[in-house]
Structure 1
Amino acid sequence: MSSLSLVPSQLYEASRLLASLVLSGLLAGWVFAQGLVFSDALLDWMEREYGTAARARVVELQRLIESGTDLEERTKLERVNAFFNRVSYDSDYALWDQKDYWATPFEVLGVYSADCEDYAISKYFTLLSMGVAEDRLRITYVKALELDQAHMVLAYYAAPDVEPLILDNLRGAIVPAGERADLVPVYSFNGADLWLAVNSMQGKRVGDADRLSLWQSYQARLMQQMAVER
């Protein structure tokens, strides 16, 4: 992410963007502090909805998580980043016939395709499942300067005041935010908090993550999928 602070016009645009995502009547969201939950019923549902190959991909994700809980955190980042970056890219219109749809990790592995939000959020929940603390992870909305479009990445903070590492589907390498001058941060969130970007390292907390309507919808679908019955 760019090391430059946002100029007033960018802050204004970010504020408008946040306002467009906020619900007037706020529902209490479910924070998945423990990450993803797997079951035989979930695997059966995946096979019914997406086929045997999709079921196998979810089993692979489960094994990735179970085999990685005791690894160093940098190794966890590398493995999870590589796992999801091999998924092909496609737009929400092509995949879901919607302008903006945040697919769950199970939906991503079902269609085996994703857009930028899907990569970032799937990595977030997988790392939570491997024991990475929630306060070290932020799903971060940015402007990708080279593409001149909105983009989303996952930022990992080894400590609150240090420069984060960026996990991005556009680039395979995980690098510090200061080395991503092509990304301008706008806002970030995790399961608990929402921040408006100030610079590449820090943000100003502006509320709870459950203020984001797409995040609420996402959590509801993910909870439903993990609680599916045979």
Structure 2
Amino acid sequence: MWRVVARSAWHAVLFAWGLSLIFPPTELMAGTPVSSVDRADQPFGLSTSRVTTGTLLEKWLDVEHEVDDDRRVLRLCDQDRASCRSRTALRFLAIVDGARNLQGRARLGEINRAINLTVKPMSDLALYGAEDVWSPPLATFARGAGDCEDYAIAKFVALQEAGVSADDLRIVILRDDVRDEDHAVVAARLDGNWLMLDNLHMAMAGDQQVRDYYRPIFLIDRDGVERYSGASSASGGAARGNERAIGQILH
């Protein structure tokens, strides 16, 4: 057992440096989380690690390409509404317009309320005859229905179109242990606090308020997918979490 008497700040620095030599960082294998993110930067105040492989990452990258296509359509329609041939894009932009002139919590609340009212909750099984299908915003609006991750993706894009910085937005995958299912929401940072935009509620709760009934598993930001440290999922266990955590999302 180490016994150190901190006689001065300098001794403390030397001791910390010595520990770094004795216990060097473990080299991470490909396919594992590769970096720890400052917990102050993430919802729930917990540290996360970047996910580099797995079904969840592949699913997000696939829908992200479709989201990029939607952004191009929205940009063209926003520049020239009269020539826009996509009624779906115009409907989406109408929601964005309603939030652009608002600030702070009012802007977030307007996007949350409008998309909750526009999209009808329906499972992937009912919509597509398959489970775990992720849709970009315009596809969701065209169908007028979707499950929780479809709401979250639409809000994630709408908030950015309305002027919210991507640095202040996350899609968070939560675990409801009581119902034994996963759920997706958007987390938006406002004045240093994270608010949850949930398709099940019009009111926006803070991240610490929902800890009583939700446990964070994954988050998605502009750079990709991260896993909360020590998180497990519906598939049972952190080691397999990035492979199947979203399979039970049916809200």
Give TM-score scaled by structure 1 length.
0.64
Q: Does 1:153 align with 2:212?
A: no
2:75 pairs with one of 34, 37, 41: 37
Report the residue type matching 1:170 in the other structure: L
The AA in structure 2 aligned to 1:20 is T
Tell me: CA distance 1:150–1:197, structure 2 relative to 1, closer, same or farther (3 Å): same
Structure 2 Cα separation of the partners of residues 195 and 15 of structure 1: 4
Question: Displacement, 1:144?
Answer: 2.0
d(CA) in 1 for partners of 2:123 and 2:83? 26
Q: Aligned-pair distance for 1:43?
A: 5.6
1:96 matched to 2:131:
no
Match of 2:16 in 1: none
CA distance in structure 2 between the aligned counterparts of 1:20 and 1:3, rounded to whole angstroms: 24
SS at match of 1:122: helix
| TM-score, length-scaled by structure 2 | 0.59
Q: SS of 1:82's equivalent? A: helix
Determine if contact 2:219/2:225 at 8 Å carries over to the other structure. Answer: yes
Q: Does residue 122 of structure 2 align to residue 106 of structure 1?
A: no
Cα distance in 2 for partners of 1:108, 1:70 equals 24
Contact 2:171 2:219 in 1 (8 A): yes
Instruction: Name the counterpart of 1:20.
Output: 55
CA contact (8 A) 1:163 1:178 kept: no
Write the deviation string for residues 68-109 of structure 1: whole angstroms up to 9, x where unpaired: 323212111111101111221111121122221111211111
Residues 38/182 of structure 1: CA separation in 2 closer, same or farther (3 Å cut): farther
Structure 1, 105-114 or 131-140: larger mean CA deviation: 105-114
| 1:6-85 aligned within 5 A | 19-22=54-57, 36-39=74-77, 44=85, 55=87, 58-85=89-116
Instruction: Give % identity.
Output: 25
Distance 1:196 1:42, change over 3 A: farther
Answer whether contact 1:73 1:132 (CA < 8 A) is retained: no
Matched to 2:55, the amino acid is S
Root-mean-square deviation (CA), in Å?
Answer: 3.8
Structure 2 CA distance for partners of 1:20 and 1:106, relative to 1, 3 Å: closer
| Preserved contact between residue 176 and residue 213 of structure 2 (Cα < 8 Å) | yes
| Range with bigger deviation, 74-83 or 121-130 | 74-83
Q: For the pair shown, which has the larger CA radius of gyration, 1 or 2? A: 2
Distance (whole Å) between structure 1 residues aligned to residue 132 and residue 82 of structure 2:
28
Deviation string 1:17-37 (CA, Å, 9 cap, x unpaired) is: x733345xx99x7685x9543
Within the alignment, does 1:164 sit opposite 2:189 as a pair? no
Shift of 1:147: 2.4
Q: What is the number of residues matched between the two proteins?
A: 179
Report the CA distance between 1:61 and its aligned residue. 2.4
